Amino acid sequence: MGGMTEPWTEVADGVFVRRYRFFAQNIVAVVDRGEALVVDTRSTYAQAREICSDLRAIGAPRVAAVVNTHGHYDHAFGNRVFRPVPIWGHERAVAMLSPAGGQHELAVSDLPGLTAELAEVELDPPDRVFAVSATVEFAGRRVHLSHLGRGHTDNDIVVAVEGSPVLVVGDLFENGATPYFGDGFPLDWPATADAILRLADGATVVVPGHGDIDGRALLTRQAGEFAANAALARRIHAGDLDLEAAIAASPYPAEAAREPLERALAQLRGNLD
Ligand SMILES: [Zn+2]
């Protein structure tokens, strides 16, 4: 996968996004005075080293801090490559990145071509953790981290770069694909999405974890879809609708609609908490 990237895009002054073709993943670097804060670390050490190497192209060879938007392996398995730099994340990301969190098994199952690379990955969860919000300062910049509720996981955070219109939303929003509900909380997700929407205006640059950079329109559209999915699940739960009819009415494509509804039903039945 070496070199399978597009160049960095400077989306605001000193805020760069690089799209890696692997998982169409966006990595963000906030740069000042030769230092960088890096958001998310990809799936393997080789992929993380590729980030380090690519940082030279934007004049920021030194990494001052790392942020994990959440504890999924593709956002955090490169963490160790950046040590001893502090790694920030939500306090519940630590459990997701513990052996019991199952991320290693999931990665091995998802990525059969990367068995050797995954074998060398040691779980290295964030060491600078918080429950609701935190501010990271480095060089002359301040970056605000906020957990606005459960959604894609129980530990998603959004990253706002002070003095810029950039909002990094992790996998709470995905562009060009149905968001992943496998670890999600579909009943909480609409309120979390609405809280993020309130942080955005017409000038906001929204960087999703995967897919194209977008604006407030992406947040508005997907917030509506989360609400529609939850409402359909409530109707099934109330006996007003069967699952197949709900799939047909889902905002998601038929092949992707079952998991969001089933996950919402599991939550309604009290099986997720
Ligand atoms: Zn994820």
pLDDT in tens, 245-272: 999 999 999 999 999 999 999 999 999 9
**Rounded distance, CA 14 to CA 27, Å?**
14
Kindly give the distance from the C-alpha atom of residue 22 to the centroid of ligand 1, in angstroms, as a whole number: 14
Pairwise CA distance, residues 225 & 239, whole Å = 21
The dihedral over CA atoms of 75, 78, 82, 86, expressed in degrees to the nearest 10, equals 40
Q: From ligand 1's centre to the CA of 54, what distance in Å? A: 23
Q: Give the model's pLDDT for residue 1.
A: 40
Question: Given pLDDT bands bounded at 50, 70 and 90, which one contains residue 61?
Answer: confident
The model's pTM is 0.96
Predicted confidence (pLDDT) at residue 73 exceeds the cutoff of 70: yes
Residue 239 C-alpha to ligand 1 middle, in angstroms? 32
Distance CA 164, CA 253 (A): 35
